[in-house]
Structure 1
Amino acid sequence: MNHRSTHGSLLIVGGTEKNAENADILGRFIELAGGAEAPIAVITAASNIADQVWGHYEQAFRALGARRCVPVHVLARADASLPAVLEAVAGAAGIFIAGGDQKRLLARIGGTPLHDALHAAVQRGACLAGTSAGASALGVHMVTHGQPDFNPAVGAAGMGAGLGFVPHCIIDQHFSQRHRINRLLSLVARNPQLSGIGIDEDTALVVGPGARFAVIGAGAVTIVDASELQSDIVDTAPGTIPLLLGVRLHVIPAGTSFSSAPDAARPVPAPLRTLFQHLLDTDRP
């Protein structure tokens, strides 16, 4: 299955977003979806406590003024083919993938009609958001496991297939709070064609609409760029530390935004241009 979503916006959240107390993130999602009357679907497939997760977000979205929120419970893979599930996503202007376990999320919806429906929704202009596990799953690749080790040892983290909305990137969440820099560095070092994106809690990376992206919330987005990497990682034994030279680290704090539009007040800086092209498809209006 080869997806390439082009038209909608993405809101990639590092988890533990503050709800009605801080409308920066969930409020921006409602805005990108089209406002208070926009139909919103909340997907709980990453969790085994779907009703609790839905209750949490139903309360939060309604407190922020959203009036048309519905749950999309996918408790087993077969549910991702149900007409009611597909209709809810097809009719949504905003789709929010809640957190839990990204491996559970992919096992339940990866490669299903719901997976196709999510890509179709973005292509027609919907806003797709994911928080925590839902954020990690948005990449073509995702972190499947790893520990907050003090060094980027070989084998310290694992990677698997994601939902395919963010090409050439791997996304990690709860980033600074759970000290995940080394597990992301370990994965990017083995896969230097990928840009590593680490998103702090209560922080989000907004991609689109149009040729722009922004960081909002309370923290920062950390980018691990291994495009000029020199390493002996392929010859390094598991559990040991490889030589890593030329890795670049970019930190983008909340409140920062860039655009590639010709008349942009804040154009994309040179160190971020490759990442920017990965985040924004050339067909995106």
Structure 2
Amino acid sequence: MPDHKRRKEDRVGTLIIIGGHEDKEGDREILQEVARRVGKGKLVVTTVASHEPEGYFDTYRKVFKDLGLKNVMGLDVNERADAVTEETGKLLEDARGIFFTGGDQLRITSQIGDTQMEARIREIFASGGVICGTSAGASVMCETMMIEGKGGESHRIGDLRMAPGLGLIRDAIIDQHFAERGRMGRLLGAVAQNPRVLGIGIDEDTTIVVEELRYFTVLGSGAVYVVDGSCVTHSNIAEGGEDQILSIYDVKLHVLSKGDAFDLQERRPLDACKLDPGSKAQDSSPIPEIENPRAASAASD
């Protein structure tokens, strides 16, 4: 099993990627984990994904306040120009964590892509911060994100639309509301287009906590499905017509639940009990401000 101990030169933050509809009234296990990771730092909740953001922030502010976070700020980005204002820069300046709410993942990339806001988020992550996203905020974490595709039925080759995401996690494509909306077919379709990429489907009220971009652990009440196409021997994705049903052979599937862990480098489940407990510890010191946002963004690509 790989050595998962954190090295100073590898310091990188944590991704908390949520399948949507996380519990906000019961034990709130997932949001408790967000609060624990942020600690005494500032959490910025951004509703950029939503076309109608009213009420989103108030709901999360109340929950996080109840969970002990004292510094929870909201960030609306209604237009792309909002992502480059001095006010937005100051709000993100000393943030420890960012939380993307649900909505439309294409709104996130189109509104903040290649802006000072995106560069600052990358800097927060690269400096050990916590980047969280639920529903649309989960899909946007990867290099390529799904933006349209039918669920609840066998996948037709022409049904899937994808677009560039934020690229915080590489070699993976993430789908959310997974079992609830019957999205296995479209995840298989995404993996068939590029078997190098792991497909990760996350149920509602379920999250993966990605450490060091090397492995993740599962929290919540549902399951996480990992589709590995590296051993695929055949698919009709290139030759089939748009209305043709996908066929694909020798796909590997892992189904994980609370407490399970998965090695992203080895593409194997691993024993969560053997993970270095110190790797889960996060200090809450302020994240330094970047001097050249565009250069920092380019350096992380």
TM interval, shorter chain, is 0.7 to 0.9
User: Which ranges in structure 1 are unaligned for 5 or more consecutive residues?
Assistant: 261-267, 274-284
Aligned to 1:235, the other structure's residue is in SS state coil
Q: CA deviation at 1:90?
A: 2.7
Alignment match of 1:8 (pick from 3, 10, 13)? 13
2:93 match:
90
Task: Give the 5 Å matches for 1:73-84.
Answer: 73-84=76-87
Alignment match of 2:258 (pick from 254, 259, 267)? 254
Q: Is 125-134 or 142-151 further displaced after alignment?
A: 142-151
* Percent of aligned pairs with the same amino acid: 35
2:268 match:
271
Change (3 A) 1:269 1:192: closer
Q: Is the 8 A contact 1:6 1:122 kept in 2?
A: no
1:276 match:
none
Alignment match of 2:31 (pick from 18, 26, 29)? 26
Change (3 A) 1:240 1:212: closer
Cα distance in 2 for residues equivalent to 1:6 and 1:82: 29
Superposition TM-score, scaled by structure 2 size: 0.82
User: Which ranges in structure 2 are unaligned for 5 or more consecutive residues?
Assistant: 1-9, 271-281, 283-301
Cα distance in 2 for residues equivalent to 1:89 and 1:112: 13
Q: Deviations over 1:49-103 (max 9, x none)?
A: 2231111111111111111100011110111111221222231111111111111
The answer to whether residue 187 in structure 2 is matched with residue 157 in structure 1 is: no
Aligned to 1:117, the other structure's residue is in SS state helix
Cα distance in 1 for residues equivalent to 2:104 and 2:175: 13
Superposition TM-score, scaled by structure 1 size: 0.86
2:105 match:
102
1:179 match:
182
Q: Is 206-215 or 235-244 further displaced after alignment?
A: 206-215
1:203 match:
206
Moved over 6 A (4+): none
Q: Is the 8 A contact 2:77 2:111 kept in 1?
A: yes
Q: Is the 8 A contact 1:12 1:206 kept in 2?
A: yes
Aligned to 1:16, the other structure's residue is in SS state coil
Root-mean-square deviation over aligned CA pairs: 2.1
Q: Is the 8 A contact 1:146 1:156 kept in 2?
A: yes
Q: Deviations over 1:22-68 (max 9, x none)?
A: 231111011111x2x32110011001222311111111111111111
What is the aligned residue count? 261
Q: CA deviation at 1:241?
A: 1.6
Cα distance in 2 for residues equivalent to 1:150 and 1:72: 37
Q: Is 159-168 or 104-113 further displaced after alignment?
A: 104-113
Task: Give the 5 Å matches for 1:141-156.
Answer: 141-156=144-159
Change (3 A) 1:195 1:245: same
Aligned to 1:234, the other structure's residue is in SS state coil
